[in-house]
Chain A
Amino acid sequence: MAMSHTSKNRLCNLPPGTVITGKWHGRSYRLLRRLGNGANGVVYLAENGRTRVAVKLSDDYASLASEMNILRRFAKVQGAALGPSLLEADDWQSPFARETIPFYVMEYIEGENFAAFIRRRGKEWAPVLVMQLLSVLDRLHQEGWVFGDLKPDNLIVTGSPPSVRLLDVGGATLQGRAVKEFTELYDRGYWGLGSRKAEPSYDLFAAAMVMISSCCPGPIEKKGDGRAQLLSIIETDRFLTRYKEVLQKALDGRYRKAADMRRDLLAASSCHTSAENERKAVPSRRSGRQVKRRRQARGIVETVVIAAALLGAYAFYIYWQLAM
């Protein structure tokens, strides 16, 4: 059931210092501040003794329970941290509601919002972080999942050296099912570029959109032909245009595996240093395109010359055979 407005407002505005006690396990958590609002609940930073944790409260029992199921399943994946780890689930007998409020406690991941990080540290971080993201996604896909609601807000950059982690796993879906939660801008269905079936290419589209939106200064809004619009955004951005091929392939759903996209992204990043040097010789992008066109023209001439030569040789051969 959807959250009613009053109880949502109350959950969103719990004053710092509020103590939440679980009715099943009896542990208490003191809220410190609000970290953010998810699609179906509110996340607070809290402490239990000396440990800092993140607590998610919701009044939607069902979706919170589904979400915990996903976190539990992710926890079973060895080695890789696919999402925040789940610590405890309980219900809180709140003072203002007659019924209890379900909550779960997870690991607190300290870090910076993905978009903010790139704004602060520079665009060159975008491909690096997206490559890290693709490694995590590859792992997730191998386990039979799709992340679903992939967007900068669900990514956090943590630690030094900076590394990217997934937050809010509520949209994670088993492959072959329908993606339940998505955000229009990062949804290929919205752009008219594919279905909402949970398959690796769904996430890879979103990963390309994460890179585009974090390098693009203004907000993106779909107008008319989605694909043409996205391609023109890539082409008009000096930075993104270096990754045009990878991004286009991901937008078209032509990558089957995150690892393949990662490899191409890596290749495009490492060759751009040489492209940079070339760029110095060629003053503008327009002339760059002209060079390309000239190169293409030369290719056609070559083909014609070779074909003519072969035809000539063959004619001469036949003439020679007849003459014999």
Chain B
Amino acid sequence: MRKGTLRQILLITDGCSNHGEDPAAMAALAREQGITVNVIGILDRGAMDENGRREIEAIAAAGGGMSQVVYAKQLSQTVQMVTRQAMTQTLQGLVNRELKQIFGSDVSLEDLPPDKRGQVMEVVDELGETVALDVLILIDTSGSMKTKLPTVKEALLDLSLSLNARMGENRFSVFIFPGKRAHAEKMIDWTPRIEELSTIFPKLASGGLTPTGPALREAIAYFERKRSLRSWIGDGDEPYIEESSL
């Protein structure tokens, strides 16, 4: 298997989108391009309304990622767990595909005897530790999110703490939506250190619309732009493309 980069979008939101394309469709589009979309719904108290919850689950399902709805207090733990699990899931998908190639039939992890399964997992764990990871963090800053932003910041710092302990390389980029001019606005360009975050967060102003779909679309475009730039330089940093049939 060639060495590559795992690509994820981490969407942090507290409710329903109300503008533009269906975010689930955009997430499906991301998946087609080998980008996993994870979604975290964040609550103050009480429960998330049914529509919001359904949308979050739909986006993650379409984007081949994980979703979680949590109270602000548990955010740190959740963000790092969701990111890790989604990585394992993607890698497992890739390994499963390799297995199918080797055995020719529909063999997945579950069909192997427990001992063999262990050997496969050793490979997955090893990859999870060493693979390069690009995470584009997409933060909803509309209306009600304002009070939750300090918690989001803390959770993202915690995420970088966890991921930077890995042997593989990490790059983070932060977008917020709605942006001032576009649907999504870039806050931080690709960087291995997310600590810069502390300087930009106080400047955030919260707006009214929640264009989750368009924001996702712009996030995907940003991934693509980065890749085309990279191919100019000839880095040869191929992304892992996951088949949607996993």
**Contact code string A88-114 (vs B, CB < 8 Å = 1, else 0):** 011100000001101010000000000
Report Cα–Cα, A24/B125, bound state, in Å: 25
Q: Which stretch in B21-29, B109-117, B143-151, B201-209 binds the other chain?
A: B109-117
Q: Does B110 lie within 8 Å of A176, measured CB to CB?
A: no
> In the complex, what's the smallest C-beta–C-beta distance from A177 to chain B, in angstroms?
5
Which B residues between 97 and 127 are near A, CB-CB below 8 angstroms? 109-110, 113-115, 117-118, 120-122, 124-125
Report Cα–Cα, A176/B129, bound state, in Å: 10
Q: Which residue of A lies closest to B91 (CB)?
A: A62
A179 within 8 Å of B by Cβ?
A: yes
> In the complex, what's the smallest C-beta–C-beta distance from A106 to chain B, in angstroms?
13
B158 within 8 Å of A by Cβ?
A: yes
B244 within 8 Å of A by Cβ?
A: no
Which residues of chain A come closer than 8 Å to B110, judged between CB atoms? 61, 99-100, 102
B241 within 8 Å of A by Cβ?
A: no
Cβ contact of B125, chosen from A66, A99, A195, cutoff 8 A: A66
- The B interface, classified by DSSP as helix, strand, loop or mixed, is helix
A72 within 8 Å of B by Cβ?
A: yes
Which B residues between 57 and 109 are near A, CB-CB below 8 angstroms? 66, 76-77, 84-85, 88-89, 92, 109
Q: Does A178 lie within 8 Å of B158, measured CB to CB?
A: no
B221 within 8 Å of A by Cβ?
A: no
A196 within 8 Å of B by Cβ?
A: yes
Cβ contact of A68, chosen from B88, B118, B161, cutoff 8 A: B118
A69 within 8 Å of B by Cβ?
A: yes
Which residues of chain A come closer than 8 Å to B66, judged between CB atoms? 2
Q: Which residue of A lies closest to B122 (CB)?
A: A69
Which residues of chain A come closer than 8 Å to B162, judged between CB atoms? 178, 189, 196
Listed in ascending order, the chain B residues whose CB lies under 8 Å from chain A are 66, 76-77, 84-85, 88-89, 92, 109-110, 113-115, 117-118, 120-122, 124-125, 129, 158, 161-167
Closest 8 CB pairs of A and B: A178-B165, A89-B114, A196-B165, A65-B121, A178-B166, A197-B165, A65-B117, A189-B161
Listed in ascending order, the chain A residues whose CB lies under 8 Å from chain B are 1-2, 24, 61-62, 65-66, 68-69, 72, 89-91, 99-100, 102, 104, 176-180, 184, 189-190, 195-198
